[in-house]
Amino acid sequence: MASYVVMRPGSGEDRSERTAFIRDGFSIIAFLVPLIWCIWYRLWAEAILVVVAGLLIGAAGELAVLPEVAIILLSLLVNLLVGLEGQARRIARLRRKGFRQEAVIWAAGIEEAEARHFGDGSSLRDRGKQHHAADPEDAAMATLVRAGDHGLVGMVGHRGAH
């Protein structure tokens, strides 16, 4: 199971149509092709940083300042950082655009997360608030959701509008 952060626009008529479900956690595609991934999700500042880091690492390699192993490790480190923190940057971008975090839902896939959120209202946040956690596993997940409400997403904490 994965956790999905539900981000909803602050106003507008098509709020449910623009609701974003972002899988929290490591993104393998962001790790493999960080620049393309950043551009795809319109993370312009992050894309520029990936390009600048690549240029600096390449320049260090051309000037023979760093050995090849260090160049490879630094490149992998940049990719790893984007893979680990990319989804948190997407959430931060949506917050800057006026979206707010509505819920965190544990689901096997995006379709299940959407069904749980829009269908029967059984997101973990709803269950935690209504105290309908029937078994210990649900209670533990509801606790995780409440812990996530403090603005921590991914590995880097950031404050969001609640």
Per-residue pLDDT tens digits of the chain, which is 162 residues long: 889 999 998 876 566 778 899 999 999 999 999 999 999 999 999 999 999 999 999 998 888 878 889 899 999 999 999 999 999 999 999 999 999 998 899 999 889 988 888 885 544 444 444 333 334 444 444 434 433 444 444 555 544 444
Domain span at residue 123 reads: 2-151
Q: Note whether residue 59 is domain-resident.
A: yes
pLDDT for residue 143: 36
What's the CA gap between 155 and 107, in Å, rounded? Answer: 20
Total count of domains within the chain: 1
pLDDT for residue 11: 73
For 67, residues 6+ apart whose C-beta sits below 8 A from its C-beta are none
Q: Note whether residue 11 is domain-resident.
A: yes
Tokens representing residue 115 in the block: 């069904």
Q: Note whether residue 157 is domain-resident.
A: no
Q: Note whether residue 145 is domain-resident.
A: yes
